[in-house]
Structure 1
Amino acid sequence: MRPLRLIAVVSTLAMGTATLAGVTFAQADAQHAAPNMHIVPPASAERPQYGSFGFDTAGMDAGVQPGDDFFGFANGTWAKNTEIPADKASFSSFDILQDVSQKRTRGLLEEAMKKPKSKIGAAYAAYLDTKAIEAKGLAPIKPWLGTIKALKSKTGYAALVAQADHNGVSVPFGSGVSQDAKNPDAYTVSLRQAGLGLPDRDYYLSDDAKLVAARTAYQAYIAQMFTLAGEGNAAARAKAVVEFETGIAKAHWTRIESRDADKTYNKMEVADLQKMAPGFDFAGYFKGVGTPVKTVIVGQPTAITKIAALIQATPLAVLKDQLLIRSLDAFADVLPKKFDEARFAMYGTVLGGTPEQQARWKRAVNWTSGAITDDVSKIYVARYFPPATKAAMDLLVKNVIAAMNVRLDNLEWMSAETKVKAHAKLAAFVPRIGYPDKWRDYSALVITPGDAFGNKLRANQWADRYNKNKLGKPIYRWEWGLAPMTVNAQANPTLVAITFPAAILQPPFFDPKADPAVNYGGIGAVIGHEMSHHFDDQGSKFDAKGRLTQWWTDADIAAFKARTAKLVAQFDAYEPLPGFHVKGGLTLGENTADLAGLSAAIDAYHTSLGGKPAPVIDGLTGDQRFYLGYAQVWRRKHREADLRNRLLTDPHAPGEQRAWIVRNLDPWYAAFAPKDGQKLVLKPEDRVRIW
């Protein structure tokens, strides 16, 4: 099932996620001169999960110098000895915890299956019932496919696209209801570019041999799906669909362009949108999706214009064929096995390099948790989120925010007037820890035993209606974009919120039995990361009330851009795969958040010591343990195809390069004394200093 359509700009820690959350905690005092830091108690006498103090020293590689490769120094032996599971495209600290969360959720759902009136139990059981799915064949989806085929004129195409959108089928435009970035107390409708079956425009347009091979495989996949569905002339029709999508790819803005909050905010009357892009009936589309509004915020105007013109110039048969393929693709997991396997071969193996499909129970857990999220979440947090973790996180959040307040005061490049507003924004933060304080009501969602396809279709439609019904209502400030079972974290600029789901609050991110230095380097840096997203190159455009507005002086902006340009250049130089560099512009927000968050976290750690020196443990100083705890969080191994995909599409740099951000931090140099000439070593004047 698609996630709920929260079109607002949000930033997450990774890609790759008790009613006490949502409370605004006390910040540092108003003058910010003597922050109200809280002393973190020493680690428990009980042993932590990793090593003797919370870090897996056995995973280090003593043969690597920290100044040459800090990731390899901290994680080299782990990387050498760890095999990526056959059903994963990559394997990381996040995956280790996600596996734990998945197994726990499975247990809860298997218990629910035994309860006759359990909606989540029935949904999980139906998804697992592959015999029933095979027996029904294509019968469940045939009425919808028939509706597509029955379209006789382009005049009905917009309404058909709206119906497809409502059903959870990818269409040439993406729309949804979200907060208005310039009026965050109101919901609005947004429209953005969409329509690609491959992950990014580069997969259609690049001459790189690997990407050419991927789109060749994609065209063969489309032909295969047509054939499996009993459609004739499959090869020619597949070629036409790929040509149509190639035209869409040419129209698309790049991912770097599309992350600009200013350039993607274009509010206009639907009538003016229609004049700008006359090739598609937008008024009919918005009416069809249940949002018959007069105004809309358009993300990429030139792309929308070109896609509409392309639709107008494309034969109706091709437009219908794309919807057929997107429909078969969207529901392949609840269609006969041959469709499911064909889709995995394309998206799992070709694009991710993954040799083996996940076990059915794992996918059943994922689908049920996504379709009926809060009903699963309620029982998950009741069993697996201890109150002590919540209390410890409250303390850590306060300390890191207080440290950031001090760093703001010490900035030499920011004006005094902007600092006052920045402090106000920090004071407005809403830290959300564990799980939301309100749950969604799924009583209108019909789940039928033994009807996997119907359940998925109805869940998609329910989620779409839920999203569209927000129009005209007060903002759902209690609503999270991440489930408590998700190993991730999030910053939402229009809500001025930072979110830490229950599942990430475990080792190696957080362990109450670990040395505080490791916890500050792990979850403390995560807290700082999400907090810093509100001050990255896009988050900084939103004020203390979540409004997209310029609240910095022109001089502040110029100084900030000069510093972030250096960070872009630093990451542009990294080449994890031959011919494929990290995109410094695409990953700038995450890299800025890593840099600033880590800086605030170590300050918070130092202050938490209460003026006492940190103990030396296993020959490692407190600062050394802090940075090792940070590097441990970014353990990840990729299959080549997956890494290539991420370098093209992921706003996060690979874990190795994220660990290298330490090369910009003076305390890291003091802790590890790297030598001039080593690969990561930068002269003091070349280190990027932002927050």
Structure 2
Amino acid sequence: MKTLWFGAAAAAALITAAAPAAARDWRPVHFPSAAPTPAGGGDAAEAKRMGTWGFDRTGMNPSVRPGADFFLHANGAYVDALEIPADRSRFGTFDALHELSVERMRVVLERSAADAAATGDEALIGAFYRSFMDEAAIDALGAKPLAEDLAEVRAADSDAALARLMGETMKGFGGSIFSAYVYDDAKDPERYTVYLGQAGIGMPDRDYYLDERFAEQKAKYQAYVAQLLTLAGWAEPEANAQAIVEMETKIAEVSWTRADRRDDDKTYNPYTVAELSALAPAFPWTAFLEGADLQGAAKLVAAENTAFPKIAEIYAETPLSVRQAWAAYTLTDQAAPYLSKAFSQAHHEFREKTLSGQPEQRPRWKRAVGLVDSQAGEALGRLYVADYFPPESKAKMEALVGDIKAAMEARLKGLTWMGDETKAKALEKLSKFTVKIGYPEEWRDYNGLEIRPDDLYGNVQRASAFDWAFRVGRLDEPVDDKEWGMTPPTVNAYYSPTKNQIVFPAAILQPPFLDPDADPAINYGGIGGVIGHEITHGFDDQGRKSDGDGRLTDWWTAEDAEKFNVQAQKLGAQYSAIEPIPGLPINGQLSMGENIADLGGVLLALDAYRLSLDGEPAPVIDGFTGEQRVFLGWAQVWRGKYREDALRRQLVAGPHSPPHYRVNVPITNIDTWYDAFGVSPEDPMYVAPEARVRIW
């Protein structure tokens, strides 16, 4: 299933899930308070205000001094009492809102599924939901839905035939050693282009193959590969599983690290088909592109280009029978959640339990909701918004975005380290920012997508093929600036460098992020910090490389770029010194963009709150000053915790630092925090003024 939200120069999201290995495939993931309880009348629960004025004081641990551990000071009692639900690998503020959103989508889907007279989008999503929920029929089919696709794998008995089949998997189930997707051209953002990326490994990151700390997971992965091949009826499952893991290990050895893969300059490498064939001649590129319906593409942007010839050689040197077994396994692995219980349970045991420590599989209805949201999200989202997104939330958000942009403009104008030439271009870029709030102006048209209530496997295949044809069909068309990369029920937000655009789906615009009736300081610390985070992404270590029109170009003077890089590396070193798990530190280079955005988000939230006071003194509420409440609002949205395996996965493969440090590290670089909470050199979190990072 190859639904890709974003491409190589795509977007920086507030939070991300563990995604496939395709480059920069940003997907929403979610963190929370307590799980919601359905309200009466069959409706979904409403988001509840935190405490009486927007902050949950009962979640604090006042015995922990602010300067000792601010995260625990603000959230310690909540975290201590929190038991992660058995069907989650982590839980916190984001997760609670995600669960609420899932409950609401369930209401919409069950209503649609029960309406025999439904038409259009309602009929489509209702049939999709019913097809997933018919567990008895799916179990009765066993492995039968795989039969035709596995026959195609067996028939792919040459290098070219197998490469063509890999290209065809862009439209549905199956694996490829190279990914392909269509997105805005980073250097010509008014046009679409084809991006190609390294792929071919089935675990979350190359480190899972190469680092001895993951030896247990690697052994269990080989057993999982053998288990799926057995379920699929493939010959010699044990021997093939060993050979598959050996092939993937070789690919991992030559693959780029995630830190290198997020460098927008390094990953923009345009080629013609002929040039790509000369770069990596061991792979049948023409057949691959024909399979993906990309044979007419004039330009192909190869992300990890120096890895391409090495991966291609591994492809050519691996026996054809092993490559076929790998294709059979990847097909089965991707299809497993939509097959009988034997397949879906095996998938859960490895993908969720082994890799993320999640004891139980999510209830079937939650998985059904997630599938429909991922495959027909705007059809579902249109109905969701009609029920659950009040117009006043959009109006309040528009005002807050204006406040944060004004704060960023003032901050840019006041920078002392940046020269006038670069500063003028930075201000120009900010002036060209656009914003999307809640839902798309124009909804996606799903006309032509066939969804049957009795064919889950086929539905997922057809939905993936429909989406791929839609994206490939736009290659010669101008970029659609109105398109959304997230669905309205998503609890997340993002910045798109090619569109120079910040986007806030409906589901995140509710407590504890946005509460129109809460104390304004809490809103500024919550959703204001999120807005500031996304705006700062336009000026983080990668976002700063694109100009106001979304074009990847160097608009900085060399002197200013050097000053920026010195401060960025200083921030990276602060994070890299932290080991959330002994021996496993935060990767300050991989998480650089998100860390810069978090620091900018808090600074802009503070500035915007001060501007909102219009010179009047801030009120004191329950003994907390206005500035204290901004910091508490920021801390509150990140409260939560991980299972250890999930945390380990996040540290290795995720672009975000763990939430504990998304609270604690940025604030130690903000002078106001020290004054607001009386933090002194005797406190463990104290950072000397000269060691504090000053970027935006």
| TM-score under structure 1 length normalisation | 0.94
**Counterpart for residue 437 of structure 1:** 441
CA offsets 1:608-655 (integer angstroms, 9 cap, x no match): 011111111001111111100000011121000000000001100000
Q: Give the alignment partner of residue 216 of structure 1, picking from 204, 215, 219.
A: 219
**Counterpart for residue 83 of structure 2:** 83
**Counterpart for residue 242 of structure 2:** 239
- Partner of 1:144, secondary structure, is helix
**Counterpart for residue 578 of structure 1:** 582
**Counterpart for residue 254 of structure 2:** 251
Q: Give the alignment partner of residue 648 of structure 2, picking from 644, 648, 654.
A: 644
Letter in 1 for 2:604: A
Does 2:689 align with 1:688?
no
Q: Give the alignment partner of residue 391 of structure 1, picking from 392, 395, 417.
A: 395
- Partner of 1:331, secondary structure, is helix
**Counterpart for residue 70 of structure 1:** 70
**Counterpart for residue 38 of structure 1:** none
- Note the C-alpha offset of 1:370: 1.1
**Counterpart for residue 517 of structure 2:** 513
- Partner of 2:179, secondary structure, is strand
Letter in 2 for 1:149: R
**Counterpart for residue 599 of structure 1:** 603
Q: Distance in 1 between matches of 2:684 and 2:208?
A: 32
Does 2:55 align with 1:50?
no
Q: Distance in 2 between matches of 1:255 and 1:16?
A: 15
- Note the C-alpha offset of 1:282: 1.1
The within-5 A match list for 1:145-156 is 145-156=150-161
- Note the C-alpha offset of 1:204: 0.2
Letter in 2 for 1:280: F
Q: Distance in 1 between matches of 2:5 and 2:104?
A: 27
Q: Would you say the 8 A contact 1:5–1:176 is kept in 2?
A: no
Does 2:659 align with 1:655?
yes
Q: Give the alignment partner of residue 160 of structure 1, picking from 165, 169, 185.
A: 165
Does 2:486 align with 1:482?
yes
Q: Would you say the 8 A contact 1:5–1:177 is kept in 2?
A: no
Letter in 2 for 1:79: V
**Counterpart for residue 289 of structure 2:** 286
- Note the C-alpha offset of 1:115: 2.1
CA offsets 1:384-431 (integer angstroms, 9 cap, x no match): 110100010010000100010000011111110111111111111111
Does 2:177 align with 1:172?
yes
Name whichever of 498-507 and 223-232 sits farther off.
223-232
Q: Give the alignment partner of residue 506 of structure 2, picking from 502, 510, 522.
A: 502
Q: Distance in 2 between matches of 1:123 and 1:155?
A: 35
Q: Distance in 2 between matches of 1:585 and 1:347?
A: 26
CA offsets 1:167-193 (integer angstroms, 9 cap, x no match): 232311111111111111111111111
Seq. identity, %: 45
CA offsets 1:89-112 (integer angstroms, 9 cap, x no match): 000111000000000000000000
Q: Distance in 1 between matches of 2:232 and 2:330?
A: 13
- Note the C-alpha offset of 1:242: 0.2
**Counterpart for residue 371 of structure 1:** 375
Name whichever of 629-638 and 668-677 sits farther off.
668-677
CA offsets 1:325-381 (integer angstroms, 9 cap, x no match): 111111111111101000100011000100000000000000011111111011111
**Counterpart for residue 678 of structure 2:** 673
**Counterpart for residue 25 of structure 1:** none
Structure 2 residue runs of 5 or longer lacking an equivalent are 19-46
Q: Distance in 2 between matches of 1:236 and 1:524?
A: 55
Q: Would you say the 8 A contact 1:101–1:503 is kept in 2?
A: yes
CA offsets 1:422-463 (integer angstroms, 9 cap, x no match): 111111111110011011111111001211111111111111
**Counterpart for residue 207 of structure 2:** 202
CA offsets 1:297-352 (integer angstroms, 9 cap, x no match): 11011111111011011100111111111111111111111010001000110001
**Counterpart for residue 41 of structure 1:** none
The within-5 A match list for 1:3-18 is 3-7=3-7, 8-16=9-17
**Counterpart for residue 20 of structure 1:** none
Q: 1:319 to 1:489 in 2, by over 3 A?
A: same
Q: Distance in 2 between matches of 1:468 and 1:520?
A: 41
**Counterpart for residue 561 of structure 1:** 565
Q: Distance in 1 between matches of 2:17 and 2:198?
A: 22
Q: Would you say the 8 A contact 1:184–1:494 is kept in 2?
A: yes
**Counterpart for residue 112 of structure 1:** 112
Q: Distance in 2 between matches of 1:169 and 1:612?
A: 61
**Counterpart for residue 535 of structure 1:** 539
Q: Distance in 2 between matches of 1:170 and 1:432?
A: 34
**Counterpart for residue 59 of structure 1:** 59
Q: Would you say the 8 A contact 1:158–1:280 is kept in 2?
A: yes
- Partner of 2:145, secondary structure, is coil
Q: Distance in 2 between matches of 1:58 and 1:224?
A: 47
Letter in 1 for 2:681: D
Q: Give the alignment partner of residue 130 of structure 1, picking from 135, 139, 143.
A: 135
Q: Distance in 2 between matches of 1:239 and 1:294?
A: 39
**Counterpart for residue 21 of structure 1:** none
- Partner of 2:668, secondary structure, is helix
Letter in 1 for 2:233: G
Q: Distance in 1 between matches of 2:48 and 2:430?
A: 32
- Note the C-alpha offset of 1:48: 7.1
Letter in 2 for 1:586: L
**Counterpart for residue 40 of structure 2:** none
Q: Distance in 1 between matches of 2:84 and 2:70?
A: 21
**Counterpart for residue 26 of structure 2:** none
Residues matched between the structures, number: 660
Q: Would you say the 8 A contact 1:219–1:242 is kept in 2?
A: yes
- Note the C-alpha offset of 1:676: 1.1
- Note the C-alpha offset of 1:287: 2.0
Q: Distance in 2 between matches of 1:94 and 1:649?
A: 20
**Counterpart for residue 405 of structure 1:** 409
Q: Would you say the 8 A contact 1:5–1:467 is kept in 2?
A: no
- Note the C-alpha offset of 1:5: 5.0
RMSD between aligned residues: 1.2
Q: Would you say the 8 A contact 1:511–1:519 is kept in 2?
A: yes
Q: Distance in 2 between matches of 1:192 and 1:266?
A: 11
**Counterpart for residue 39 of structure 1:** none
Structure 1 residue runs of 5 or longer lacking an equivalent are 18-46
Q: Would you say the 8 A contact 1:48–1:514 is kept in 2?
A: no
**Counterpart for residue 664 of structure 1:** 669
**Counterpart for residue 628 of structure 1:** 632
Relative contact order (alpha carbons < 8 A, sep ≥ 6): 1 or 2 greater?
1
Q: Would you say the 8 A contact 2:407–2:608 is kept in 1?
A: yes
Q: 1:48 to 1:376 in 2, by over 3 A?
A: closer
Q: 1:91 to 1:5 in 2, by over 3 A?
A: closer
- Note the C-alpha offset of 1:232: 3.3
**Counterpart for residue 34 of structure 2:** none
- Partner of 1:140, secondary structure, is helix
Q: Distance in 1 between matches of 2:210 and 2:455?
A: 40
CA offsets 1:124-176 (integer angstroms, 9 cap, x no match): 00111011111222222100001101222223121111122222323111111
CA offsets 1:2-32 (integer angstroms, 9 cap, x no match): 4335313210001249xxxxxxxxxxxxxxx
Q: Give the alignment partner of residue 230 of structure 1, picking from 199, 209, 233.
A: 233
- Note the C-alpha offset of 1:269: 1.6
Letter in 2 for 1:129: D
Letter in 1 for 2:678: A
- Partner of 1:474, secondary structure, is coil
Q: Would you say the 8 A contact 2:66–2:73 is kept in 1?
A: yes
Letter in 2 for 1:433: I
Q: Distance in 2 between matches of 1:290 and 1:150?
A: 20
